[in-house]
């Protein structure tokens, strides 16, 4: 009963985050590019709870969309084009939740305008674009972060701690999957557009790969296999991708490899007789060592031997801080010149998109198209 109450309380606090009690008189002003579906959870609510941030602007291709968004979420100013927002000297930080294929163009333009950028995942369509964005940010002395929010949460960090502690023995395999049920995406969803950088490996596989690389503490050494499911309607889009990767063992004196499987799918079929049991979105990570295993997100299985369940909601906000709120805290610390509790750098983002590209090549679908937009040069 107590935990049901706790859950309801956490959900309520996530949806209605309390205003900070000690707001800054000179907060960072955030601008959002596009009235994106993800913006309320990923940036609007976290900003409302941060003492050093305000939601200043939102731009949309059609200003009425920006106006509707601003009214609903309490944003101060609206713009009828992304460039107008970037040209506003009041804006300090840009949140870029545009379709993947537009990440590079608008991040380069935002950096050129002198804004720090919190950039949605995956960083861009190609590794070359990601390299250029980070090089430009560094040259300009601006903060650029790919929004892998999960990394900032204490639960993720605890899993990493368990893996690194050695209590599981030598890690032999890592499995990571992120899947959503069939029927969730409409045909015009950005995730189903090749030109906008869509595909399951881009959209969800980027997390599974990132998490696997994080737990392995290294990049893969080889792709052992990779395959993609497609559909006749979207022949260049992977509805699902599965890949098997080899990592070098991180344990000294162990020359065996870690085998990792990653799995991303947009169309998990319903189950049971006549498909009557609807599938649920699933996020699962499991690292198996010679002495034990750790699972995240999934339910306890019928494991033999000793098992324990650890919960890590984090201490902040009485356990109500989301991954996005933790991410925002770190991002603002970085912008303000403080040391964030966790960070990951350009090399990490570059390696992730490089391996996404390699996996796409291996499936035969090829990497997503590079941007043809004219952008400011680094
Ligand atoms: N961190 C996370 O948990 C999540 C991250 N994401 C990432 O965020 C990004 C956006 O995802 P999501 O919010 O679901 O996307 P939406 O479908 O809501 O699209 C985002 C915005 O893209 C703009 N846009 C610009 N050009 C186009 C175009 N040609 N076609 C369609 N839209 C266009 C639209 O802005 P306008 O208002 O100007 O029309 C729209 O609001 C993606 O990179 C995705 O990977 C998505 C979900 C979860
Ligand atoms: O967190 C997520 O889960 C569902 C995906 O479609 C989305 O883009 C991703 O970021």
Domains, in order of start, for the chain: 4-150 (3.40.50.720), 154-300+347-363 (3.30.360.10)
- The pick from 84, 102, 120, 124 for probing ligand 1's pocket by mutation, whose C-beta has the most ligand atoms within 8 angstroms, reads 120
Q: Where are the beta strands (DSSP E) in 110-256?
A: 116-119, 144-146, 171-181, 222-229, 240-248
121 part of the active site:
yes
What pLDDT digit, counting tens, does each position of 163-196 carry? 999 999 999 999 999 999 998 999 999 999 999 9
Ligand 2 and 204: CB distance under 6 A? yes
> For residue 365, what are the CA distances in angstroms to 17, 75, 236, 341?
42, 40, 6, 38
Distance 200 CA to ligand 2 centre (A): 9
**Residue 234 class from Cβ within 10 Å (0-12 exposed, 13-18 middle, 19+ buried)?**
middle
Ligand 1 atom with minimal separation from the 202 CA: 45
Residues of the chain with pLDDT > 90: what percent? 80
78 forms beta bridges with: 58
Q: What is the pLDDT of residue 377?
A: 82
- The pick from 43, 99, 353 for probing ligand 1's pocket by mutation, whose C-beta has the most ligand atoms within 8 angstroms, reads 99
Among 29, 77, 115, 121, the active-site one is 121
Task: Write the Ramachandran bin of 30: left for phi over 0, alpha for psi from -120 to 50, otherwise beta.
Answer: beta
Q: Is the pLDDT of residue 352 over 70?
A: yes
Which residue owns the Cα nearest ligand 2 atom 3? Answer: 204
Does ipTM exceed 0.90?
yes
Ligand 2 atom with minimal separation from the 266 CA: 6
Residues of the chain with pLDDT > 70: what percent? 96
Distance CA 19, CA 251 (A): 46
Distance CA 167, CA 292 (A): 7
Q: What is the pLDDT of residue 317?
A: 82
What pLDDT digit, counting tens, does each position of 64-74 carry? 999 999 999 99
DSSP H stretches of helix in the chain: 2-15, 39, 45-48, 63-73, 82-87, 100-112, 127-140, 154-165, 200, 206-216, 323-335, 346-363
pTM to 2 decimals? 0.95
């Amino acid at each position: 009963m107590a935990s049901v109450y706790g859950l309801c309380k956490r959900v309520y606090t996530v949806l209605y985050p309390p205003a900070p009690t000690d707001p800054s008189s000179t907060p960072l002003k955030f601008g959002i590019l596009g009235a994106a579906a993800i913006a309320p959870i990923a940036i609007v609510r976290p900003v409302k709870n941060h003492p050093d941030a305000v939601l200043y602007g939102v731009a949309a291709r059609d200003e009425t969309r920006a106006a509707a968004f601003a009214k609903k979420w309490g944003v101060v100013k609206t713009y009828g084009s992304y460039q107008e927002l970037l040209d506003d000297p009041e804006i300090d930080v840009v949140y870029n939740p545009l379709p993947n294929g537009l990440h590079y163009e608008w991040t380069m333009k935002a950096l050129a305008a002198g804004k720090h950028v919190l950039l949605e995942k995956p960083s861009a369509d190609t590794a070359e674009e990601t390299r250029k964005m980070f090089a430009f940010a560094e040259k300009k002395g601006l903060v650029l972060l790919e929004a892998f929010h999960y990394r900032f949460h204490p639960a993720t960090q605890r899993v990493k701690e368990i893996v690194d502690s050695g209590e599981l023995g030598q890690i032999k395999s890592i499995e990571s999957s992120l899947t959503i049920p069939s029927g969730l995406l409409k045909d015009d969803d950005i995730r189903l557009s090749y030109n906008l950088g869509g595909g399951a490996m881009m959209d969800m596989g980027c997390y599974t790969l990132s998490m696997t690389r994080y737990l392995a503490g290294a990049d893969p050494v080889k792709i052992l296999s990779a395959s993609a499911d497609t559909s006749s309607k979207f022949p260049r889009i992977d509805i699902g991708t599965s890949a098997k990767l080899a990592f070098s063992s991180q344990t000294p004196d162990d020359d065996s490899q870690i085998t990792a499987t990653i799995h991303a799918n947009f169309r998990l079929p319903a189950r049971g007789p006549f498909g009557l049991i609807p599938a649920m979105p699933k996020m699962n990570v499991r690292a198996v060592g010679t002495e034990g295993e750790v699972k995240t997100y999934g339910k306890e299985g019928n494991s033999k031997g000793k098992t324990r369940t650890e919960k890590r909601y984090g201490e902040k906000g009485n356990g109500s801080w989301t991954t996005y709120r933790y991410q925002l805290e770190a991002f603002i610390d970085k912008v303000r010149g403080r040391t964030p509790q966790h960070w990951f750098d350009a090399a990490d983002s570059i390696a992730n998109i490089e391996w996404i590209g390699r996996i796409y090549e291996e499936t035969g679908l090829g990497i997503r198209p590079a941007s043809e937009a004219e952008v400011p040069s680094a």
